[in-house]
Structure 1
């Protein structure tokens, strides 16, 4: 059975997954268009970080960053660092994680959740996942700027 729990991005297996995630982001997007966070940035107090595990084995991760400190962003959050391990892809781990993050956002009475992802074909599965869960494209948010390599999406809760 897959369980999703709060976890530390500093754990060895998580650190490796996040390093792989960052490497893929830099391999598919120009450096100025990479907005993924490393394990230390994901430890910030404004970020809640979760992992999905099965019998202790890491399957994926995801995070929710509260945007309350950004002007006009009270009651809003941003999904960060959604990643599934290669061996767990196709098992619904990303959907489970996304539903978990959205349930947490609703329990905090957030009004809206945002995300940024890439425009390249590599990111097509992520864009489809978010669209299936009701996200729609939106303008840049929370200090992001228009970028031909970024897609901005939002979901009203």
Structure 2
């Protein structure tokens, strides 16, 4: 069973998977369009990070960034290779959505890639109800980025 719990990006347990996440995002997206957060970015006061655990094995992580009092952003979703297709990302995303609702956000947005490496993430977000939307949060529009949002007001 996957346990999703609050964590800190400086946690030594997260270091290797976070490095894989940052390198992977940068490998599949041009530098000017790769908006991945490293440990420093994830440590910002506006960001809350959760890690997912399968017993004592790190299974993944994800974060929620507050953009405004009524608007949050899903950041840095990553599943460990050993835990792919086992519901880890869905559990993390459910925790992020639940927290966004608890905070009273009207909208939850995300930016992801368009390269084939992002196909599984895109399917996950679509299955959770996210739909394509406008550019937000100061990101530049690009064919390498996909912007999605989930209306939490309904």
Tell me the TM-score range normalised by the shorter chain: over 0.9
- For residues 52-91 of structure 1, what are the structure 2 equivalents within 5 Å? 52-68=52-68, 74-91=69-86
1:94-121 deviation line (CA, Å, top 9, x unaligned): 0011011000100000000000000111
In the TM superposition, what is the alpha-carbon distance from 1:56 to its structure 2 partner? 2.1
Q: Give TM-score scaled by structure 1 length.
A: 0.94
1:72-93 deviation line (CA, Å, top 9, x unaligned): xx30000000000000001010
Match of 1:152 among 147, 151, 154: 147
Q: Where do 5+ consecutive residues of structure 2 fail to align?
A: none
1:49-77 deviation line (CA, Å, top 9, x unaligned): 00001222100000000002xxxxx3000
Match of 1:140 among 110, 128, 135: 135
Give the superposed CA RMSD.
0.8
Q: Where do 5+ consecutive residues of structure 1 fail to align?
A: 69-73
Range moving further from structure 2, 11-20 or 45-54: 11-20
- For residues 110-121 of structure 1, what are the structure 2 equivalents within 5 Å? 110-121=105-116
